[in-house]
Structure 1
């Protein structure tokens, strides 16, 4: 799939997507917009600044109000000293959020809250997040900042968790606000198995999807199991993906298979969207709404850019202000020019703190191995893989559905040893080993509760799967 040249407009704001009034003049040069944020919000939009210096000035203007408002929360009221600036403030951690559960971070009256959310973590207290109605306009506006915008003619399949996590609800509401038709295909719902997902993609002529990168590859196998050909989904024009790092090779493979652009998103439940791809495939951080910094745990230093743990300060947060919140994601952030001319820093997400393993004295992360797996020729049909990091070697398994498994294994082993510098053992496993065929073909939904059964019916499964 070829990415468009620099004639693609910058991401549409929510007002543009719905045909609403713009607050500025006509669009300027390619990649710039002169419209404002959500109507009447006073929030910035791409094109409101023309240089990194102007962007930094806007950030500086918002730091003092953010600090002032944060004092309304019990947590920061105790932490902030009189006259203390952001540069003198320590990090806010996930542990702080857990200890503040549920409302010790709250900075507005409880009656102003519109929604409450929690992260998907499973240890100890959850990390809570809550938003006012005004903040939902900001969430939606940031979500629709896309090189392939959402509009009234689109049908968006949301295949991200709903529940207490923000991402599914945010995409749902933002797309509706943009006039699109939304298909709520929650990936954690028993009512939407993979067989139903591919049917919906086909029958509803879905144009956009919102999922993890891994989901989009499972759909390929599910479509094959259901008898769909590679060209059965011509309406699909973009796949929005988030929730896990994606290598450039896996991105290209997904684009080749689906014949649609992959648009990578980055965000978190506590704050919402943090960045997305420009027309040139480089992810930009929404630094006009959220101030990013880089923390080096070895030195304890915090710098405006570089490689390290991402620390964020939302500049317009109401319900739950966060000051120097350490996401614990390892990123590379740079204020550097890009042909899109958005004048926003670029960000590469390298992984989560603590992820990765040492093999033969070298530290390896999942994305490094993934890049080599998906560099294998597409003819091998490899979609699924797994690896185990042993002290002295990397053990890798790949599903090779057709002939050529020996060649695929030998090619991958040579790439791993040459590029990663570790010993490895690569083997092929039968199709359906890593993603079971019954998972792809499953059609049963969660059953509704029943009390009365007929002769021969199994009354042990009244509420669980049949």
Structure 2
């Protein structure tokens, strides 16, 4: 792999992608058979697994990865590994993933495929967890590949509270950020709490990269408005696969079909197809340490091969995620995606950023924060929207700012301290050794 490989817009016809996939599959299959898991799964075959057998290969599941924890999927010597990672474990026990230096070249190239570019002149704030997950390391590797200055802001860390990140963004002229959509909102709220205006007090900021949550178009536009109209560039991936899709200038998510084989699995029929609605299955084409054959991400998606206005021939994907599952309320069904669209269709001047909802069988409860001056109007308008669009029994409540996201979370410095052992008279020595 090298930086000279084609970029997303370089492919002129889907047939080119099909030829690339067919050429790479024999090597992918051979490498996979070096792992204990795949070697055992196909040990009884009379002949080695070949590219012609791909249509008959069974799915690899998240449970398979959990059962093989930690190194049952390893296809290279341990000495060749560059990094080790684990998933967050939000949907069960975590899974392990590992990469060689060669794998990391591919990972970084895929992440760096941002239509707004990543340049040596950029200062790039990475505001996702460094922990065991891959997300922050992925952005850092891609930023370094393109020569940007990396600011390792982390997330969920006492050492990097929101006020500190707002200060860093201003002082360092941060031009790019990487965080989930909720964190982008939190940064905006923290900026406002510091007396700043996100839309005008961060003039160096030119784009914000985001992932990890299903993001409706109306919410993406609202986030962009909050930050002065800059692009909010979405991508899609996982710790097990790295980035597998990225946004084009038209706003569509395109699958990197020149870096992996993608299929859609229908849980009802068990069938696999290149397009349609179901669960996304991925076979990375340039994976050395941990090859995955027909890995089912278990994410609900909709994949299409129709042309896009951007000119890319790569297939598009709409990620439904958990928002695809609806909750019954009254005689209707409510999804997070549809509610999000309604909440963020309220006028920008109402400054609604944070909300929550609970779907009871007989009542939908929705709560949101809004400034005192507009709260009553916002409640009336959202009530009318829910009546018209959802038609379910509901109770809409407007809350004062700071109710759902405490003001202290936006303003408290909370900088972590180094361990101490010697204290002066009158100091709180119960904090000895503690990092707080």
Q: Which category describes the TM-score, using the shorter chain as reference length?
A: over 0.9
The residue aligned with 2:187 is: 219
Q: Does 1:346 align with 2:308?
A: no
Paired residues of 1:446 and 1:464 also in contact (CA < 8 A)? no
The residue aligned with 1:452 is: 422
How far did 1:63 drift?
2.1
Residue in structure 1 matching 2:2, options 32, 38, 58: 38
The residue aligned with 1:262 is: 232
Query: Aligned pair in 2 of structure 1 residues 434, 457: CA closer, same or farther (>3 Å)?
Result: same
Does the residue aligned with 2:429 lie in a helix, a strand or coil?
A: coil
Q: Does 1:79 align with 2:41?
A: yes
Pairs aligned (count): 428
The residue aligned with 2:59 is: 91
How far did 1:127 drift?
0.2
Query: Aligned pair in 2 of structure 1 residues 240, 90: CA closer, same or farther (>3 Å)?
Result: same
Query: Aligned pair in 2 of structure 1 residues 463, 401: CA closer, same or farther (>3 Å)?
Result: farther
The residue aligned with 1:59 is: 21
Does the residue aligned with 1:160 lie in a helix, a strand or coil?
A: coil
Residue in structure 2 matching 1:175, options 143, 146, 158: 143
The residue aligned with 2:216 is: 247
How far did 1:414 drift?
2.0
Paired residues of 1:380 and 1:402 also in contact (CA < 8 A)? no
Alignment of 1:141-290 (within 5 A): 141-230=109-198, 231-259=200-228, 260-290=230-260
The residue aligned with 1:294 is: 264
CA distance in 2, matches of 1:89, 1:391: 42
CA distance in 2, matches of 1:136, 1:333: 26
Paired residues of 1:135 and 1:318 also in contact (CA < 8 A)? yes
Paired residues of 1:328 and 1:352 also in contact (CA < 8 A)? no
How far did 1:75 drift?
0.3
Paired residues of 1:89 and 1:324 also in contact (CA < 8 A)? yes
Query: Aligned pair in 2 of structure 1 residues 464, 336: CA closer, same or farther (>3 Å)?
Result: farther
Does the residue aligned with 2:232 lie in a helix, a strand or coil?
A: strand
Paired residues of 1:332 and 1:348 also in contact (CA < 8 A)? yes
CA distance in 1, matches of 2:131, 2:428: 30
Paired residues of 2:418 and 2:435 also in contact (CA < 8 A)? no
Paired residues of 2:323 and 2:336 also in contact (CA < 8 A)? no
Paired residues of 1:44 and 1:289 also in contact (CA < 8 A)? no
How far did 1:123 drift?
6.9
How far did 1:459 drift?
1.7
CA distance in 1, matches of 2:429, 2:356: 39
CA distance in 2, matches of 1:47, 1:201: 32
Q: Does 1:425 align with 2:395?
A: yes
Paired residues of 2:123 and 2:174 also in contact (CA < 8 A)? yes
Query: Aligned pair in 2 of structure 1 residues 124, 133: CA closer, same or farther (>3 Å)?
Result: same
Query: Aligned pair in 2 of structure 1 residues 58, 362: CA closer, same or farther (>3 Å)?
Result: farther
CA distance in 1, matches of 2:352, 2:213: 19
How far did 1:464 drift?
4.6
Residue in structure 2 matching 1:373, options 343, 355, 361: 343
After superposition, give the CA deviation of every residue in 1:189-248 in whole Å (9 maximum; x if it has no partner): 211000001111111111000000111111111011111134110110100001101111
Query: Aligned pair in 2 of structure 1 residues 125, 384: CA closer, same or farther (>3 Å)?
Result: closer
CA distance in 2, matches of 1:121, 1:354: 20
The RMSD of aligned alpha carbons is 1.7
How far did 1:289 drift?
0.5
How far did 1:362 drift?
3.8
| Structure 1 runs (4+) greater than 4 angstroms displaced | 122-125, 353-356, 463-466
The residue aligned with 2:365 is: 395
Paired residues of 1:329 and 1:353 also in contact (CA < 8 A)? no
After superposition, give the CA deviation of every residue in 1:233-268 in whole Å (9 maximum; x if it has no partner): 011010000110111111111111112110001110
After superposition, give the CA deviation of every residue in 1:274-310 in whole Å (9 maximum; x if it has no partner): 1111011111110111111111111111111111111
Paired residues of 1:294 and 1:308 also in contact (CA < 8 A)? yes
After superposition, give the CA deviation of every residue in 1:74-111 in whole Å (9 maximum; x if it has no partner): 10012134355221122111110011001010011111
How far did 1:47 drift?
4.6
Alignment of 1:298-377 (within 5 A): 298-352=268-322, 355-377=325-347
Paired residues of 2:324 and 2:335 also in contact (CA < 8 A)? no
Paired residues of 1:309 and 1:331 also in contact (CA < 8 A)? yes
CA distance in 1, matches of 2:434, 2:379: 41
Paired residues of 1:250 and 1:370 also in contact (CA < 8 A)? yes
Q: What stretches of structure 2 of length at least 5 have no aligned partner?
A: none
How far did 1:355 drift?
4.8
Does the residue aligned with 1:192 lie in a helix, a strand or coil?
A: coil
CA distance in 1, matches of 2:288, 2:332: 44
How far did 1:423 drift?
2.1
